[in-house]
A and B are shown apart, each in its own frame.
Chain A
């Protein structure tokens, strides 16, 4: 909890003031046999150095696709980016040459994937895979790269790093493998790390360890961090601000602790209510009714309307904008927004 006190205020930290990364009106579509899937529909968010943004959503909400678009690892085709900008230190990466983007990948922006077992190459030693970063981006020799790899493994607290550097991914435990993924992302001390469900595949006890390690290293290097998750419980302790996604759009944006206290979107409220709580032992657990929408046939109006307990006629016809959220008296709530026609009723009750 101490982390929250220290970093709760979402404010730019670096001298230059601008955000490290800014996603502007990003659209991503997939062209499939069944039709066009609009996976991301005008997403905006930004991250500053030293700041952690949590992106929350179910599978199919577009949270991972957005991350892949930022990394430039979408398969195009079938994916297409018809509209939008992704500014890294003010420069639009979508307009860069392939070679320039490659040089950013891994070195300036790195990514941690969900399933470390399948995300690490099974037939290459972890030392090789870690060392590759230095060999490719810095031209180090094989020997120096291996020394660096051992150093990295030490950093992420893998015991007996020097002895295990030649081992293969399948010889490590799940938690250790995820540490190797983190080490790989950290290798060149990037400005921004995108972690896509970094702890989902892990045991609960290991989850906390890996999360703490990630937060600690982030603070140490003053990196920006985008933490993608479907689990509100995971991000509470580490994130500064949060963006909730649903059917390819951001439906709510808020500083993290405010979202927990006062959600301004029925979807967020539903998610919070479905977290098991100790003080409500014995009661039936709440669940949002219905299924996530089929992206080939997104409901008209607000995509959440078929599942929303408060849906009115307008919700079925008009797509809500991302409205700025204010106090009941009109007082400003910095960094808050909600894409609900009835955000006032939702937040103020």
Chain B
């Protein structure tokens, strides 16, 4: 099965320091003895994409952990005296009236603030899950090769063969109560294949390097070779894919909520879906969660972009 990320793995693992000079002039540049990570960090600090996305993510995390700091309004209990057709008071920044009310008289602003937690939790939870599972499967397949690799690769193909959104929809449809864990589980169930493929590719490349062969010849144990020698050198492409997928999973969760198959509690996707029904008369019910969702996804995708640029010198 072809592999979307094949090129990334190749460039990352085969040429981690960007040995190929961009211009002939680079021939004579002084050799600064910095590591890949040191170089990446120096690059990140200079990147405006990184700075913008970090600030956004900082605020998102603040909202996630301390929603009460941002609004005094209640997200769940509505008061129908706050009629949803009254226009938002855009001047009153931060008040419950600020972004208007939804059909059940709940403050849209409070819904937007409290909905952050669900999205961020699902995003991080799923990313951690798929990184752990995908890395493990990819590592085992790449390291042992042969029949183990064949079986695991076909297994990966099987999960990859089911369209992601369709698969999670089918799984989630069977759960009447969809908690954060259930949604994370469903997204992770189909999401681990990409990391697994990236990891496998990186391990195969690293395995052939001289220092791993040397460690083997010196009789290092298999877990030691895997975790001390191979793992650190396969981290770069995995981190890049994981960071970008954070945003993708947040979008996926919202999409599932929109279809009525996502989280049962407060969630931007649910609100957007509800707001869609009143789109002609009260656009704000749908608009503000949509904006917040898009900004959140954008922040994480930008972070992934910045990390990729820093870790993959060929992208420059």
Contact between chain A and chain B defined by CB under 8 Å:
yes
- Interface assignment of B24: CB less than 8 Å from any CB of chain A: yes
B30 and A295 within 8 A (CB): no
A296 and B24 within 8 A (CB): no
A30 and B25 within 8 A (CB): yes
- Interface assignment of A292: CB less than 8 Å from any CB of chain B: yes
**Which residues does chain B contribute within 8 Å of A79, judged by CB atoms?**
23
How distant is the Cα of A34 from the Cα of B25 in the complex, in angstroms? 11
**Which residues does chain A contribute within 8 Å of B28, judged by CB atoms?**
37, 59-60, 292-296
B29 and A294 within 8 A (CB): yes
Report the count of interface residues on B (CB-CB < 8 A): 8
| Max count, chain A CB within 10 A of own CB: residue among B26, B27, B28, B29 | B28
A37 and B30 within 8 A (CB): no
A65 and B29 within 8 A (CB): no
- Interface assignment of A32: CB less than 8 Å from any CB of chain B: yes
Place the interface of chain A in its size category. 10 to 19
In the complex, the chain A residue whose C-beta lies closest to that of B46 is A33
- Interface assignment of A64: CB less than 8 Å from any CB of chain B: yes
Q: Contact mask A112-137 → B, CB, 8 Å, 1/0?
A: 00000000000000000000000000
B24 and A30 within 8 A (CB): yes
Contact of B25 among A32, A292, A293 (CB under 8 A): A32
Q: Contact mask A66-88 → B, CB, 8 Å, 1/0?
A: 00100000010011000000000
A306 CB to closest chain B CB (Å) equals 14
Contact residues, A276-303 vs B (CB, 8 A) = 292-296
Say whether, besides A294-B30, A296-B29, A32 and B23 are in contact (CB < 8 Å).
Answer: yes
B63 CB to closest chain A CB (Å) equals 37
In the complex, the chain B residue whose C-beta lies closest to that of A29 is B25
How distant is the Cα of A60 from the Cα of B23 in the complex, in angstroms? 11
- Interface assignment of A20: CB less than 8 Å from any CB of chain B: no
A28 CB to closest chain B CB (Å) equals 9
How distant is the Cα of A294 from the Cα of B29 in the complex, in angstroms? 6
**Which residues does chain A contribute within 8 Å of B29, judged by CB atoms?**
34, 294, 296
A sample of 13 cross-chain residue pairs with beta-carbon separation below 8 angstroms, ordered by A number, consists of: A30-B23, A30-B24, A32-B26, A39-B24, A39-B25, A59-B27, A65-B25, A68-B24, A78-B25, A294-B29, A294-B30, A295-B25, A295-B28
